[in-house]
Structure 1
Amino acid sequence: MSTSSPAATSAAGPPRQAGGTPTVLLNAQYLPTSRDWRTAAGRADSPFRVDTFLRAAQQAEAAGVDALFQADFSGVNRAGLRAGPPLTVFEPFQMAALIASATTRIAVMPTVSTMYTHPSAFARSLASLDRISAGRAWVNVVSSFRSGTALGVQRQVPRDRRHVQTEEFIQVARRLWASWPPEANRPDRATDRFVREDLITDVTHHGEFYDQTGPIDMAPYSPAFPFTLEATSSLEGLRLAARTADGVFAGTATLGAAKELRRILRREARAAGRPEDAVALLPGSYVHVVGTEDEATRLLRAQRAHAGAHGGRLALDEVRARYPVLHLDGLGPADRLPARVLPEDPDEVFATHGSRYLPLWDLARAGGRTVGEFAAEAVGLAEHARFVGTPEQIGDEMRRWYDEGGVDGFQLILGNDFDALCEGVVPRLRGSGTPAPHGAAHRRPATTGSSPRP
């Protein structure tokens, strides 16, 4: 396999710079899941209606969102279907093409599973989408969801080889993309050629997982391979992204955890021979918008009261079950939290336990807690950051995560009040809203799991 960095020729998203603009991805499911499906508004924004997603994309585009992201899940989650709208109703590439035809600026980002797709089929679908969108195609690459349930395809790759398989998949797809350069499409009257077929190069690849001969058969629109996002929670996955991706989607429930993960990502990008800012950290976020600061304060107090009520032994038992490697043996809720709950080095925490332990490291390093208080806060953590407040508060807090070097942007996964998200939160995050008064700490939203500022 080539040792060159294929992602070095990717079409990058908006560059990160000091005082710049965060990259904002919107999950396509935000709008239909932001309404209660039992209400008239929820029925109007049904996930089974294509115009629900077209309206969401147009509204997000007007707000300044960079890309509409569509996840994809294999198999049927029957319990999930009983509880609420399905996460996938439309095939992602078809939906992306439809959205591209109804918008002018926003990028469209479908998801592809490397486990159940051949790179040549993927490359031609992506090339077609890139041409339909006039260069606005991005892509989210995953190894698989719920292995063994995708349309009856029997393709099982051992877990310890999945990163290798994904890297070969991306390598073949990038070579196919480059096999038909844009200059081949410029008619040459002197030689009476509509397409310069002599400029289309063959791809010959015989690897561990794929055999490919011949070029792509569908001309891409863009010379560079589209912006590529990869999700990961492990060091090996982060290293794969550092070699092959332009963005990383990861869970970072606290700002301290995000800062450490972004630092490690930049280190791995340098180790892969790329600029340290070549790969953007774009973690997920849940957004709960309220109308007033008083309402946000009441919600924060209620969260703290709930955490306190469930502190004690119950929370400690749950934390031990959820995070078995924590050093909490022999301790009770009233004991002071020891310094060595986790290794003091965040690199060791991430390398050994993955990104989901970094927020616990962030909570533990703040100090001054009892074991019960730590357990109550740890139980309240979600995989992704949760922001609660007015649109201005949320936008300002998310912007703080960017300005303090924790993230390069966000993926807005789920939440409430889609209109307020687009009209208030996103403009504020991107810096086009009115900034909050300097030092107005009382206006900060309740960011579930964020450690106190020093």
Structure 2
Amino acid sequence: MTRSGKLCIGLSLSITWLNGEGWRRPDSDVENIHRAEFYIDIARRAEAAKLDFLFRPDSLFLDASRLSSAPGFSSLDPSLLLTAIAQETQRIGLVSTASTSFYPPYVVARQIQSLNWLSRGRAGWNVVTSMDGSDNFSDQPMLSSAERYARAREFTDVVQALWASYPDEALVLDRANGVYADAERVRPIHHRGRHFSVEGPLTVPTYPSAKIPLFQAGASEWGRDFAARVAHGVFAAAPDIAAGVDLRADLRSRADAHGRDPNDLRVLPGLSLFLGDTESEARDLYAQTHAGQNLQRKQAYVLENLGLDVGPLPADMSITPDMLSKLNRPVRSRTHADLLRRLIERETPTVSELLERPEVSGSAHWLFVGTPQDAAREIARWFEAGAGDGFIALPGGSARSMELLFENLMPHLIEDGLFDADYRGGNFAEHLGI
């Protein structure tokens, strides 16, 4: 991806602005989060602000115990939702999530290519290896991280082979001679692998001249290697500049080792934005959003990921690396566990400081609390330091953060020469420079 050396910016449609206490605000519109119109309105505003793409994450399990206090991962099917959005937008990219852990490759290939047609070449695929939800698909135990990524690599190869199995050039559409397609150009893939047996060809032809960009979010050793092999964009958890610089340098090095041009890969940290017209307004919004956080849940998170029970420890006690034991059991997310260890090794925070960090209280994303003008300066600082090639916007606290993103922050980035003022090319891949 070259895209003039400018930022690449996507918006998460995971209603992050309704997390914590945000959904309780009178203007949250939480009643409509399962209606297409709610997201279509957001999509139109994002497109007017010229964001590169919309990203719909997904989860294939529901923790019902958390529904008493927040919407959680309750969500619509990504491909169906983005299909509805496709009919009401013209240029913005639409990145759907599909799991390689549970879905058949043929179904995913068909869904994403169908979205590409219905959006006129604007589909992208977020390739995920699900960490939860296996009991919704079988009684088999969840695969290890290494096995999930081995399956994902074969899965992705199969999907791409299926996309190529029915090229749009095969469509002749010769009415005079009664030839619809050149059947010789539509071929089975005859795939027989360790995880899948797929004959092909796909039932949907490729959308003309519109390659489908691939995105990935794994930050473990296996996830990084997989992303470096196949992804055009990597969604990253990077709570500080140093973490972003290290991750981006590692991914670019891995891409080069796999024979790819490192510039073809964009590292996109998640950016949690609590925006206000004034700094104090933004700080108040952040405080109100997190006022109901459960202390015991945060302590349990540290225990799960580090094996350290901070509950009995004094709040002002510093946590040092020698207090951390090497865990001999699997953790739910090796990425988040490693981020916590890195934080302690680098800063030796006190117990109270640790429990307030985004690595514990949030989702380990880059956090900004302040005005759009200050956010633009901070984004420029990250970009210039090589901590990312753009970001995934995660507006927080209220819909006002999202409005300020569209109406104030994006114009600042355009005025500063960090972001393109309009879309390029005729489809999503061309706009990104693929």
Same fold (TM over 0.5): yes
Contact 2:315 2:352 in 1 (8 A): no
**Residue 143 (structure 1) shift:** 1.5
1:388 maps to which of 358, 366, 369: 369
Matching residue of 1:135: 121
AA of the residue aligned to 2:35: R
RMSD of Structure 2 on Structure 1 (CA): 3.6
Larger Rg: 1
Q: Does 1:291 align with 2:267?
A: no
Cα pair distance change 1:142/1:195, threshold 3 Å? same
Q: 1 CA distance for matches of 2:343 and 2:72?
A: 34
Superposed counterparts of 1:155-174, under 5 Å: 156=141, 158-159=143-144, 160-174=146-160
Q: 2 CA distance for matches of 1:239 and 1:122?
A: 22
Cα pair distance change 1:395/1:263, threshold 3 Å? same
Superposed counterparts of 1:166-245, under 5 Å: 166-188=152-174, 192-223=178-209, 225-245=211-231
Q: 1 CA distance for matches of 2:22 and 2:336?
A: 32
- Match of 1:99, SS state, is helix
**Residue 374 (structure 1) shift:** 5.6
Contact 2:306 2:341 in 1 (8 A): no
Contact 2:274 2:285 in 1 (8 A): no
1:85 maps to which of 71, 77, 91: 71
Superposed counterparts of 1:103-114, under 5 Å: 103-114=89-100
Q: Which range is displaced more, 262-271 or 397-406?
A: 397-406
Cα pair distance change 1:99/1:432, threshold 3 Å? farther
Contact 2:100 2:128 in 1 (8 A): yes
**Residue 63 (structure 1) shift:** 1.0
Q: Deviations over 1:283-334 (max 9, x none)?
A: 212110122145568899x99xx9xxx9xxx9xx9998466489xxxx9999
**Percent identity for Structure 1 against Structure 2:** 29
- Match of 2:415, SS state, is coil
Matching residue of 1:147: 133
2:61 maps to which of 52, 64, 75: 75
Q: Which range is displaced more, 259-268 or 106-115?
A: 106-115
Superposed counterparts of 1:209-358, under 5 Å: 209-223=195-209, 225-293=211-279, 295=281, 321=303, 324=306, 354=335, 357-358=338-339
Q: 2 CA distance for matches of 1:161 and 1:319?
A: 25
Q: Does 1:25 align with 2:10?
A: yes
Matching residue of 1:402: 383
Which structure exhibits the higher relative contact order, with contacts defined as CA atoms closer than 8 Å and separated by 6 or more residues? 2
Q: Which range is displaced more, 188-197 or 411-420?
A: 188-197
Q: Does 1:425 align with 2:406?
A: no
TM-score between both structures, scaled by the size of structure 2: 0.78
Contact 1:319 1:378 in 2 (8 A): no
**Residue 145 (structure 1) shift:** 4.2
Cα pair distance change 1:319/1:229, threshold 3 Å? closer
Where do 5+ consecutive residues of structure 2 fail to align?
325-333, 359-363, 419-434
**Residue 48 (structure 1) shift:** 2.3
**Residue 100 (structure 1) shift:** 0.7
- Match of 2:248, SS state, is helix
Contact 1:259 1:405 in 2 (8 A): yes
Contact 1:319 1:379 in 2 (8 A): no
Cα pair distance change 1:332/1:91, threshold 3 Å? closer
Cα pair distance change 1:72/1:244, threshold 3 Å? same
Contact 1:177 1:225 in 2 (8 A): no
Aligned length: 389
**Residue 189 (structure 1) shift:** 6.3
**Residue 44 (structure 1) shift:** 6.8
**Residue 388 (structure 1) shift:** 0.4
Q: Deviations over 1:125-153 (max 9, x none)?
A: 11111001110001111122413243x44
Q: Does 1:15 align with 2:2?
A: yes
